[in-house]
């Protein structure tokens, strides 16, 4: 069976989404996938020490599975991630973004802080790509604990001081397992 290629692209303001992305990468590698972890960065195009490389269109074209992460921004995705996605017009126009498995992850300070709408907003772009949405739904008992069938979300608290813990990590692991499994069925 060919190795599944997973690209994880995210924006992180406080580090929570970066922590989630790192867990996804770790889980995907443990599942035998080849992984590209990419950050759109915060305030400049310079890559800080220890930060993943900036994403390129090739990172998305290369992948079988694309996992996209953003904190909530008024129930929407962060601008820097949106700018990257908007820059994929040439690849979209030639069909290079279609027929891949896509899913999303997010964080917010408050419960009901826009996690679901952020993921749905993200998926509008994926639908235009012709991507195959593979959300976790309620396909695992862990989803009844974290409560988000649209993707994975984490609540940081008003002071951004609630760390990513077992509930979120279990949901992230399930998202990786599910997206890779479906991709392998599509690409035997």
Q: Please give the model's pTM, rounded to 2 decimal places.
A: 0.96
Q: What distance in Å separates the CA atoms of residue 8 and residue 128, rounded to the nearest whole number?
A: 19
pLDDT at 42: 81
Helix, coil or strand: residue 121: helix
- How many residues are given for the chain? 188
Helix, coil or strand: residue 14: coil
The kind and range of the H/E element at 155 are strand 152-155
pLDDT at 86: 97
Q: Which residues pair with 66 in a beta bridge?
A: 7, 102
Q: What distance in Å separates the CA atoms of residue 101 and residue 126, rounded to the nearest whole number?
A: 9
Q: What distance in Å separates the CA atoms of residue 138 and residue 156, rounded to the nearest whole number?
A: 23
**CATH number assigned to the domain comprising residue 182:** 3.40.50.360
Count: domains in the chain:
1
And the tokens for 116? 């679901």
Residue 145, domain extent: 5-186
pLDDT at 181: 97
Evaluate whether 67 touches 7 at the Cβ level (below 8 Å): yes
Question: pLDDT by residue for the chain (188 residues), tens digit each?
Answer: 679 999 999 999 999 999 999 999 999 999 999 999 999 988 767 777 788 999 999 999 999 999 999 999 999 999 999 999 999 999 999 999 999 999 999 999 998 889 999 999 999 999 999 999 999 999 999 999 988 999 999 999 999 999 999 999 999 999 999 999 999 999 88
């Amino acid at each position: 069976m060919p190795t599944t290629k997973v690209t994880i692209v995210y924006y992180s303001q406080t580090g929570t989404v970066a922590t989630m992305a790192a867990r996804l990468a770790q889980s995907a590698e443990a599942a035998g996938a080849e992984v590209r972890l990419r950050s759109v960065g915060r305030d400049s195009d310079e890559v800080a020490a220890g930060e993943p490389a900036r994403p390129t269109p090739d990172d998305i074209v290369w992948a079988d599975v694309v996992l996209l992460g953003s904190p909530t921004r008024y129930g929407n995705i962060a601008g820097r991630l949106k700018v990257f996605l908007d820059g994929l017009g040439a690849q979209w126009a030639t069909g290079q973004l279609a027929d891949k498995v896509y899913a999303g992850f997010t964080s917010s300070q408050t419960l009901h802080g826009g996690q679901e709408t952020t993921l749905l907003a993200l998926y509008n772009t994926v639908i235009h790509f012709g991507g195959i949405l593979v959300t976790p739904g309620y396909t695992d008992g862990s989803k009844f604990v974290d409560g988000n069938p649209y993707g994975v979300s984490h609540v940081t608290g008003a002071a951004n001081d609630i760390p990513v813990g077992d509930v979120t990590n279990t949901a992230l692991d399930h998202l990786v397992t599910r997206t890779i499994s479906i991709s392998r069925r599509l690409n035997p």
